[in-house]
Amino acid sequence: MAIVEVKGVSYTYPGSNEPTLNDITVSFPTKEWTTIIGHNGSGKSTLARLIDELIPTSAGEIIVDGVPVDAEHVGDVHQKIGFVFQNPENQFVGTTVEDDVAFGLENHQVPRDKMQFRIKQALNDVNMLEFAKKEPAQLSGGQKQRVAIAGILSLRPKILIFDEATSMLDPQARLNIIQLLKKLKVEKGFTIIAISHDPAEAVAGDNVVILDHGKIMASGKTTDILTNHDLMNRYNLGLPFTEQLKAKLKAKGIPSPEVYLDEEQMIQWLSQQ
């Protein structure tokens, strides 16, 4: 079952001659993590924004959890989708951490007595409860992104979209956020759509979609796509660490298994040889 269906969607920005997205058809399976990878300018962010009705669809059709994405259902769609953006600073609306989490709840007219519980719960889920009274200037980029995640968790969405949400963070903070997402996906059964230009991040997900020049070039299981070195190199996407190692070993005459191995599996395989 796919919770998000995109059918024949094209999009051209006003004033532009070339379409940013060209006849895209893709589906995102329920409770799975799909990573959309592609270069800057490949149209990945545009696709994500269309799915959340942040820009209006002009050609084609998008269905989110049974609801058509259009002007009429925009409130519904925003309720079902939680969207985390790239820049930690520019999505922090509240003057303090708890105020920022409250912002979405206030918009959805959640009564105040319920807010307190939901804010506490959401901040606890992202390990930021002790920072509730802090101001954004006192937080690191990674902490701000955690607050952004708490903000959308409090609204109880079904789908989480991350639009390069870790690209401005340092490697350690990035790793922490990815681990947090993994945990949330398992514990709360979210469907995750992550947009990234880094294959190392795609490793965390179930499926990968490759977007290039507004077209879908490949989509499938993460393990199938990331092990296809020709495909990854054709779109200049780089390879995750273990695949880089496999490629180097292969070039030097040591063949390794075709299937995707994560770091642990790779170590095991190497030590058993």
List of residues contacting other proteins (CB under 8 A)? 39-41, 49, 52, 54, 75, 78-79, 81, 83, 85, 87, 89-96, 98-99, 102-112, 115-116, 119, 135-137, 140, 151-152, 155, 167-168, 170-172, 197-199, 236-238, 241, 244-245, 248-249, 252, 254, 263, 266-268, 270-271, 273
Backbone angles phi, psi at 64, to 5 degrees: -115, 115
Q: Which is nearer to other proteins, 19 or 240 (CB)?
A: 240
CB closer to other proteins, 13 vs 241: 241
Contact 214, 50 (CB under 8 A): no
- Residue 41 Cβ vs other proteins, minimum distance, rounded to whole Å: 7
Q: How far is the CB of 1 from other proteins (least distance, A)?
A: 25
When the beta carbons of 61 and 99 are compared against other proteins, the nearer one is 99
- Please, what is the minimum distance in Å from the beta carbon of residue 110 to other proteins? 6
Indicate the residue among 26 and 48 with the shorter CB distance to other proteins.
48
CA distance 48 to 61: 14
Measured in whole angstroms, the distance separating CA 185 from the mean position of its chain's CA atoms is 12
Tokens of residue 24, six digits: 């895209």
Nearest approach, Cβ of residue 175 and other proteins (Å): 9
Minimum Å distance from CB 14 to other proteins?
14
- Six-digit token pair at 110? 């959640």
* CB proximity list for 17: less than 8 A, separation 6 or greater: none
Answer whether 84's CB lies under 8 Å from 149's CB: yes
Q: Which two tokens stand for residue 166?
A: 């870790």
Nearer to other proteins, 186 or 234 (CB): 234
* Bridge partners, residue 163, by sequence: 195
Rounded to the nearest whole angstrom, what is the least distance from the CB of residue 76 to other proteins in the complex? 10
Looking at beta carbons only, is 218 or 245 nearer to other proteins? 245
Beta carbon nearer to other proteins, 83 or 190 = 83
List CB contacts of 115: < 8 A, sequence separation 6 or more. 102, 105, 106
* CB neighbours of residue 153 within 10 Å: 23
Coil, strand, or helix at residue 258? coil
Inter-axis angle of helices 171-188 and 141-153, nearest 10 = 20
- The minimum distance between CB 26 and other proteins, in angstroms, equals 21
Q: Cα(243)–Cα(247) distance, rounded to whole angstroms?
A: 6
Q: Are 197 and 38 in contact (CB under 8 A)?
A: yes
